[in-house]
Each structure stands twice: as C-alpha cells, then as structure tokens.
Structure 1
Amino acid sequence: MAERLNSETFKEKAFQPGKLTLIDFYSDSCVPCKRMVPVFAKLEEKYGDQIYIGKINVAYEQNLVEEYKVMSAPTLIFLKDGKQIERLTGAKKAAELEEIIDKNI
C-alpha cells in the first residue's frame, strides 16, 4: 500500500538514488483520489521494489504543496534521482501510469 509521507519523511523516501518514485498529492474528500487507490495497489503488485509510491495529503503538507506547485488533487508526480520527470493531474488508468513507469525504470 502506498505510504503516507509528511515533510519529515518526504526527502528520505522520495529521493532514493536510482529508484523511480511516484508521489500522489491527494485529498481525503476527493473522489478521483479514492479511485486511484486500487490503481496504486496494482502498480505495487506488478512492479514491486522497482518503484516507490508515496502519498502526500494536500490538507496537511502545505509546504510540499507549494514547493511542487500542486493546484489540484490528485496530482501525480514521478521523480527519479531527486528530479521531477513527469507530472499528471486527475485520476489516471493503470495503463497510462505503466507506460511512464516502463520507460523510466
């Protein structure tokens, strides 16, 4: 299951050298955000340790929301070696995320 991150744990977990990271900026009241939960579970099952998936609650982590210029939830940001390589907004299908993952792992 995707791990919930906060300001203290974000850099340690999201910036793992050589590892692709997917960060989900979400809100508890966001219906499209809730639709992403089984998608993330499928990705974790398929890719295992090849990808790290973390979640940031936009209501509680304003400094990260501002740093990454998140304007809506869900916002999905792919990071590799500490750099943003892809950004998507809104609920997405697993196949769309798999395409990004496959070209970056």
Structure 2
Amino acid sequence: MAARANAENFEELVLKSELPVLVDFYSDSCIPCKMMAGVVGDIEDDYEGKLNVYKVNVNFDESLASKYEVLAAPTFVAFNKGAETGRIAGKTTKDALLGLFEGLV
C-alpha cells in the first residue's frame, strides 16, 4: 500500500523526489477511491525503484487538496522534478495513469 504523504512531508517526499511521483488524493469514504486502491497498488509494485507513489487523504490534508486544486476524489496528480506534469480525476485505468509518466518510467 502506498505511503501516506501529508502537509508536513509533502515537499520532501514529492517535490524533492529524484523519481517521478504519482499522488493519489483520496478519501476513506469514497467508493471510487476504494475501487482504485488495487490499481494504485499494482503500479507501486510494478514500478518500484522507477516511480514513487503516495496517498494524500483530502479530509485530513485539506490544505494540500486546496493548494493543488483537487475538487474530486480520487484525483491522481503526476509530479516530476517538483512540478506537476499531469492529472486525472475520477476512476480510471492503470494504462491511463501510466500514461501520465510516458517517457519517464
């Protein structure tokens, strides 16, 4: 399961990461978020050492959700070298998520 990121460690874990990062902005009460958990876990397992995966709970870290203009859960945001490079809101596919990192992993 992807590690949790929060307002205190987001810069270190995500923005300063040497590897590309997928951030899953989720909510515990969100059914589509729960449906995507396996997909996110597969990506984390399949791309270990090539891509970091973190989860941010929008209910506990509202400041991060607001800063990154997350309006729905789940929202998946791709980062590379500290910059947002793409995003997908809502239930999606593994291939679509990996498409956010085309040429990077």
Alignment TM-score, normalising by the size of structure 1? 0.92
Q: Which residue type is aligned with residue 11 of structure 1? A: E
What is the SS of the residue equivalent to 1:101? coil
Indicate the residue corresponding to 2:5 in structure 1.
5
Equivalent residue, structure 2, for 1:83? 83
- Tell me the distance in 2 between the aligned counterparts of 1:58 and 1:64: 8
The answer for the alignment partner of 1:47 in structure 2 is: 47
Once residues 100 and 62 of structure 1 are traced to their aligned partners in structure 2, the CA distance between those partners, rounded to angstroms, is 24
Are residues 1:70 and 2:70 paired?
yes
SS at match of 1:49: coil
SS of 1:69's equivalent in the other structure is coil
Counterpart contact for 2:23–2:56, Cα < 8 Å: yes
Question: Could you tell me how far apart the structure 2 residues matched to 1:49 and 1:15 are?
Answer: 17
The answer for the alignment partner of 1:96 in structure 2 is 96
C-alpha deviation, 1:17, in angstroms: 4.2
Look up the SS of the partner of 1:54 in the other structure: strand
User: Aligned equivalents of 1:22 and 1:95: distance in 2?
Assistant: 13
| 1:60 corresponds to 2:60 | yes
Question: CA–CA distance in 1 between the matches of 2:48 and 2:17?
Answer: 16
Give the structure 1 partner of residue 34 of structure 2.
Answer: 34
Count of matched residue pairs: 105
1:24 counterpart residue number: 24
After TM superposition, the score normalised by the length of structure 2 is 0.92
* Gapped regions of structure 1 (runs ≥ 5): none
Q: Which has the higher helix share?
A: 1
| CA shift digits 1:25-53 (9 cap, x unpaired) | 10000000001111011112211111011
| Structure 2 letter corresponding to 1:70 | V
Higher mean C-alpha deviation, range 14-23 or range 69-78: 14-23
Query: What secondary structure is seen at the aligned counterpart in 2 of 1:85?
Result: strand
User: Secondary structure of the residue that 2:101 maps to in structure 1?
Assistant: helix
